Every structure is written in structure tokens, then in C-alpha cells.
Amino acid sequence: MDKTFMALAIEEAKKGFKQTYTNPLVGAVIVKDNQVIACGAHLKYGDYHAERNAIETCSTPEELQGATLYVTLEPCHHTGKQPPCTQAIIEAGIKRVVIAQLDPNPMVSGKGKQFLESQGVSVEVGLLGEEARALNPYYNHFYQEERPYIVLKSAMSLDGKIALKGERTQLTGSVANQFIHEERDCFQAILVGSETVLVDNPSLLGKNSSLYPPIRIVLDRRGRIFAKKDLHIFTDDKAPVYIFSQQEVADLPSHVTVFTAEQWTVSEVVARLVQEGIQSLYVEGGSCIHDAFYEADLWDEWLLYLSPTLLGGDALPDMSSLRPSRSVKYLSDLSLSQIGQDWRISAKKGR
């Protein structure tokens, strides 16, 4: 029955989708005498963790005596916005804890388990581990690789172009556009180059389906966008804006932060985003920005919206730069689906 209860905890975890910000999705199920007596999830950044939410639903402390807790992620043993869950588990009198995945954060990994065991609780680790890890691909990636999960996203015609020169060009249809808006909300930050901002003047907002809308990041070494205060990223304050530039600028709206340095390489930008705790990044181009991430090997997934169009001539090609390209990279984990009139193709960096 262990597997059934853990599968239930995994389903429970999903209730926090798009509400937990940098926190992972976690689900918990408490079982006594083979009966589920409580369920809980981490429902919102800053709120109770899953274990405590489950414990709190029990009406009397006696119910919990000698119970088993199934939890998708190792209970925390440090005081953050909430007191440690390990303490709550001990106090509740839970005697056995089944954990799907140890916390991938190397600073805390194993500490919850260790403490519980030191208090005489029986702990098992790994049941449905893969399924539990799939709940939090970006959180896991961030702690394991020490940088955000980076998706290079573009919309391309059937002849490999992304736009007419110097002109905002809409290639994908309305169904895909809606889909992309919602997809943005699954990331903690969206990144574009200044050229995209100047030509397209995008809001770079999601569909507002997340409690924590993605931070909008613009790479603008020369500070070209500062002269245009009527750009949507300045006038629309629905999500923070980070600008990486050489220029220092005063009098910006309060939702805009400028990170200043003489030279921002892609590696330096990513290092800075790590400091900011950003676990996932949706890079929307243009061509040179994509190529800079590709060349620096700072990417994990290629995401392509392929539109049934042709542009030809001098239209802008997808990912390119003056850098000599000397090799063909093969991708893995391909998937393809139709979204309205377009195709969505994703593939991961081959190992």
C-alpha cells in the first residue's frame, strides 16, 4: 500500500502549482491502520509546509500517535518562514516517515532524515522518487547544477526565420500565443535582448495565472532602452523588470532594477540570477541572445514554435551570430505537439 499512499501525496502536491514561487511543490499524506487520516500540500509561498498542513487537519492529537507520514520531499530541519517540519513530526508522535526524495539543496539534504532517525523515527527514502522529482524539475536543477534551468524559446517559420527585418512579426497563431502566455507563468524569469524590446515593445507578461509572475529581464549593454520611457516594460508594473547594462540610470519606475557592470557576459548574468535565487529562465531571444547562451553552454532545453509560414530573403534567421560554428549538436528527449495552427517542438541538450 506504501506506493498508493505516496502516489496520493504526489497528487496532493500539485495543488500548489504556480503558487509556491521558489519553494518546491510538496504533498503529504498521514496514514494510520491503513487508513488515510490526513492530506496536505504546500499551497503558497510563505505559508505552512505540506507536513504541517496535514498534521493540522487532524482534530485530536491522539489520532497521530504511531501514524505513518508519506511525504514527497524530505521534511525541512531549518527555520525559514516556518518552524522546522521535523519538530512538528516528532511532537505529533508520528513513528514512521516515508520520503520520496531527499532535498536536493546540498546545504540541507539529509539533515531532516538524520534528525528524525536520531529521534527514533523509522525513515525510508526513495519510494516513487522519480515521480516526486518530476514535480519540481527547476527546483531540483537549480540545486543540482547550481544555476537555473534555461529554456531557449523561439517562434520560427518553416524556412528558419523569426521575423522580418526591423519589424514586429507575429508568426504563431492565437492558440499558440495564448499557450505561450500561460507557459511563461511556469518560469521565474523571462529574458530578452534590447533589440526585441525596441522592435516589438512587448509587455513580456504571462497570463497572470501564477501568484508570482515571471521577472522580466532585459540584456541591454549600451542602455538603448532607457531613452524610451514609454516602452511597455516601463509603463506596465505588473511584474518586476531587471535590466543588465553598462549604464546607470536614475528616475526609473520602482518595479525596475538595473544591474550595472562594465561588461555583462551571459555567464555573469546567469551567476547574478543564481544570487537572486532564480531557478528557471525562459529566454525569448532574439537570435544573438540565443546564440550567446548556446555558445556558453548555458541552456537545457530548446523550445520551438514552428509556424506554417515562409519569410525568405533577408528576414532574420533563428539563433545565429558572427561566431564561427564548427559542429552539429544532436538533441535528445524530443517531443512534438500541435497547438492550433502551429507545432510546439521541445528537445533537450543531448548528454
Residues near its own copies (CB under 8 A) are 154, 156-161, 164-165, 169, 171, 290-291, 294-295, 302, 304, 306, 308-315, 317-332, 334, 336, 343, 345, 347
What are the residue numbers of the active site? 51
From the CB of 270, what's the least distance to its own copies, in Å?
A: 18
CA-closest candidate to residue 155, choices 315, 313, 267: 315
CA-closest candidate to residue 92, choices 10, 49, 42, 30: 30
Strands 68-73 and 27-32: antiparallel
Which position has the grid cell 509561498?
45
Query: Which amino acid, 78?
Result: H
CA-closest candidate to residue 299, choices 214, 191, 205, 157: 191
188: left (phi over 0), alpha (psi -120 to 50) or beta: alpha
221 in Cβ contact with 236 (< 8 Å): no
From the CB of 290, what's the least distance to its own copies, in Å?
A: 8
From the CB of 320, what's the least distance to its own copies, in Å?
A: 7
Nearest CB to its own copies, comparing residues 134 and 334: 334
Nearest CB to its own copies, comparing residues 74 and 291: 291
∠59-61-66 over CA atoms, to 5°? 120
What nine digits make up the cell of 344?
510546439
From the CB of 190, what's the least distance to its own copies, in Å?
A: 20
- Residues 6 or more apart from 215 whose CB is under 8 A from it? 188, 189, 190, 239, 240, 241, 242, 278
CA-closest candidate to residue 121, choices 53, 57, 51, 59: 51
Nearest CB to its own copies, comparing residues 31 and 311: 311
What nine digits make up the cell of 214?
515571471
What nine digits make up the cell of 113?
532524515
Beta strands in 45-187 (DSSP E): 68-73, 96-101, 122-125, 149-156, 161-163
Nearest CB to its own copies, comparing residues 120 and 324: 324
From the CB of 170, what's the least distance to its own copies, in Å?
A: 8
Nearest CB to its own copies, comparing residues 84 and 285: 285
Nearest CB to its own copies, comparing residues 120 and 312: 312
From the CB of 163, what's the least distance to its own copies, in Å?
A: 9
CB atoms within 10 A of CB 142: 22
81 in Cβ contact with 107 (< 8 Å): no
Nearest CB to its own copies, comparing residues 162 and 281: 162
